[in-house]
Amino acid sequence: MTPVTSRGFGRLTLDVRQNLPAWKQAVFVGSSLILGLAISVAILAVAGIPPLTLASELAGVLTAENLRGVLIQAAPLILVGLGASLAFRIGFWNLGIEGQMVFGGIFAAAISIYDIGPPATRLILMGMAAALGGALWVLLVVFLKLRFRVNEIIATLLLNYVAMYFLFHLLYGAWQDSKTAFPQSTPFRPFERLTDIGYGVNTGLLIALGGVLAAGWMIHLSRIGFYTRFISANPRMAKVVGVPVQTATIWIIAISGACSGLGGFVNVASQEGRLTQSFANGYVFSGVLIAFLSRNDPIVVAIVGFLIAVLFITGQTLQVFYQIPFTMVQMIEAIIVMTVASSEFLIRHRIRWIR
Amino acid sequence: MIDFLVNWLANAPVTAVPYALAALGLIIAERSGVLNLTAEGLMLVGALAGAGACLALGGYPAVALVAAMVAASAVSLLFAVLVVVLRINQVIAGLSVVFFCQGFTGLVGTLAKWQNKQLTGLAPLKIWPLSEIPGIGRILFQQDPIVYLTILIFFAVNFLLFRTMLGLRIRSVGENPGAADAAGVSVTLHRIFAIVAGSSLIGLAGGYISVVSVKLWVTGMTGGRGWIAVALVVFARWAPWPALAGALLFGCIEALIPQIAAAGIRVPQYLMLMTPYLATIAVMIWVGTKDSGITQEPGALGQPHVREERR
């Protein structure tokens, strides 16, 4: 028997890297991002969108008049990204973002439909209701996880379908706008809508940026942020030294759900101005992607959220003018996550060829 | 009443087959220690490939189902590379594959204009004379060939996993990859094999939905059945036969929905459509309340193996 290594062509081995300089890490992540985008462009080219057309569409999205649409779209995406990143920070896979958005939208719409509170404070009330709706919907899963050890990945994903059918139940039934045949609620009144405050900036975006600052303060400066880091590093140790692990976990996840609920409200109150069937579609993986690329940092979430908004608006343009289905956006998001996640392997390991 | 029962139970195997095959495919992969969330996406790939092959060939549903299996296996190779070779977090990788498949199948199916086109489907296989027994005959002996094939597949996979050397190696890699590696079992190859082999069954599950059960293709037509299959694996504690029982349970629940509507019972339609998802959560609660007892959960489920990182 001859040993394997003497066959002549050698073999691959992995070395574990202790650390890699920050700039090299940035090079790996950056080039993997470019690779992901290149694959996406190639797939679109095969699907009938030549790269040049794509570039001109992208340039069109970034013109002054379309930028307004991007800023409106960025608000729910940032809020959803905050929701995902807060939950991921504590090791809770909140994949129920769409369900929480739906319930945020439903709670906000309920305030409008049942005409609760004076007009002056109506929007604030709707926002609070939406946050409550999203938080309650995710707390249901928290309860199931803590009490019955139900896996939250499956539970949150399945509850998205339940929330969607509940929305359909309302929109094809009690809440359907009697003036149209479409499954939509009655439009919100003017004082129930988020409006433009100049320079293309929408009040929804202000809510999102306020959320970014609040979450940034919470994660980086407040006590609960410190607890969060402690719990995600070593929950048992945290418990032993007296960190209120369960309370902190529940609060963080509730806030995560509230962010998604607010995202639903912002989306409904700034774009369509009424509940529609599909207002929450495509946000689950967007949330995952934004949290993943921003490494769960609230401040970076704002930047990444804006970039994903550009992708969303481009996707809508391609859908309208080239009949490319909007799920294409999800495909590109998935490709980017795959390539960027793969770069972590190269950051942590060195591949060597041993003869 | 008897008619209602017979109609309902005669449809249950058709709705149960996708759950059963997808859960079984997941069990094979998870027994090798890979947390596999890709079922929803790979079922979509199978559904698209099956429908596409059927339309391109103008029939031949059996060939279309093979195409579904091959397509899902091919896409699962991507997942295998991500989690086994590149050691990406298995939840992130699984989710990416699902959403990639959702986008990709939507794109391909729409561009190829396969949407809402009638497919031929498979004729039922009457097992004469048993098929002529009133009631029972229609429920058990007039199903399409895949229903019977599914049971054979369960026997085959059970044999493979628990009675062969290959099965032992797959399970050892899932239980303790370090020890298996030291014993000379290639963790990488066995995990890749388990993922790809299991995914062919998930693809068959998806192809069955489009080619045999619904007989047309629409975007996102699996509607969360893949996630229910993931839950079924937990419910079955990674053992094949309980997964078949669970699949039958969910098949009965899903088959009940159109029957209730057909019987003229007035139940809000969209609340009815929630039942499979709520039932899944109920089942998971039931699993959680039970004493943990005997579980065959693989010891290294979700853990990547890097030989050079061993302690």
For an interface test with A, the pick among B188, B277, B310 (most A C-beta atoms closer than 10 Å) comes out as B277
Question: Residues with Cβ < 8 Å from A70, sequence gap 6 or more?
Answer: A61, A62, A306, A309, A310, A313
Residue that is written with structure tokens 């996880």 in the block: A145
- Give residue B294's pLDDT: 67
- Give residue A8's pLDDT: 57
Q: Which amino acid is at A329?
A: V
What are residue A90's phi and psi, to 5 degrees? -100, 10
Query: What is the mean pLDDT for each group of 10 consecutive residues in chain A (355 residues)?
Result: 50 78 89 94 91 88 83 94 95 95 96 91 94 97 93 94 96 88 88 82 90 94 91 89 91 96 94 89 94 93 94 90 89 95 87 78
A322 at the B interface (CB within 8 A)? no
Residue A350 C-alpha, separation from nearest chain B C-alpha, in angstroms: 11
Q: Which residues of chain A from 274 to 313 reach within 8 Å of chain B, CB to CB?
A: 284-285, 288, 292
Residue A15 host element (H or E)? strand A11-16
Residue B94 C-alpha, separation from nearest chain A C-alpha, in angstroms: 10
- Give residue B290's pLDDT: 79
pTM over 0.90: yes
For the beta carbon of residue B166, count every other beta carbon within 10 angstroms: 14
- Give residue A2's pLDDT: 40
Q: How far is CA A329 from CA A288, A294, A315, in A?
A: 14, 18, 6
For helices A97-113 and A245-267, angle between their N-to-C axes, nearest 10 degrees: 60
Give Cα B174 distance to the centre of its chain: 20
- Give residue A348's pLDDT: 84
- Give residue A5's pLDDT: 45
What are residue B115's phi and psi, to 5 degrees? -65, 140
Closest residue in A to B305 (Cα) is A14
Q: CB–CB of A279/A101 below 8 Å? A: yes
Q: Which amino acid is at A20?
A: L
Give Cα B82 distance to the centre of its chain: 21
How far apart, in Å, do the first and last CA atoms of chain A sit?
18
Q: CB–CB of B91/B114 below 8 Å? A: no
- Give residue B293's pLDDT: 62
Question: Residues with Cβ < 8 Å from A153, sequence gap 6 or more?
Answer: A93, A95, B37, B91, B230
How far apart, in Å, do the first and last CA atoms of chain B sit?
64
Closest residue in B to A149 (Cα) is B288
Give Cα A76 distance to the centre of its chain: 8
The C-alpha atoms of residue A193 and residue A206 are separated, in whole angstroms, by: 14
Question: Residues with Cβ < 8 Å from B281, sequence gap 6 or more?
Answer: A144, A150, A155, A158, A159
Residue B35 C-alpha, separation from nearest chain A C-alpha, in angstroms: 12
Cβ–Cβ of B273/A165 closer than 8 Å? yes
Nearest to A288 among B95, B230, B280 (CB): B95
Which residue, among B71, B76, B98, B6, has the nearest Cα to B210 in the 3D structure?
B71
- For chain A, the 3-state helix, strand and coil shares in percent, each to the nearest 5, are 70, 5, 25
A228, two tokens? 């969060």
Nearest to B219 among A169, A325, A335 (CB): A325
Handedness of CA B89, B92, B97, B100 (dihedral sign): negative
- Give residue B186's pLDDT: 93
Tens-digit pLDDT string for chain B (311 aa): 788 888 899 899 999 999 999 999 999 999 999 999 999 999 999 999 999 999 999 888 999 999 999 999 999 999 999 999 999 999 999 999 999 999 999 999 999 999 888 888 888 888 878 888 888 888 888 889 999 999 999 999 999 999 999 999 999 999 999 999 999 999 999 999 999 999 999 999 999 999 999 999 999 999 999 999 999 999 999 999 999 999 999 999 999 988 888 888 888 889 999 999 999 999 999 988 876 666 778 888 888 888 776 54
Question: Residues with Cβ < 8 Å from A48, sequence gap 6 or more?
Answer: A322, A324, B111
The C-alpha atoms of residue A345 and residue A16 are separated, in whole angstroms, by: 10
The C-alpha atoms of residue A337 and residue A288 are separated, in whole angstroms, by: 9
For the beta carbon of residue B164, count every other beta carbon within 10 angstroms: 11
For helices B39-57 and B2-31, angle between their N-to-C axes, nearest 10 degrees: 110
The C-alpha atoms of residue A347 and residue B1 are separated, in whole angstroms, by: 65
Question: Residues with Cβ < 8 Å from A168, sequence gap 6 or more?
Answer: A183, A277, B270
B295 φψ region: left (φ > 0), alpha (ψ -120 to 50), beta (else): beta
A280 φψ region: left (φ > 0), alpha (ψ -120 to 50), beta (else): alpha
Cβ–Cβ of A47/B270 closer than 8 Å? no
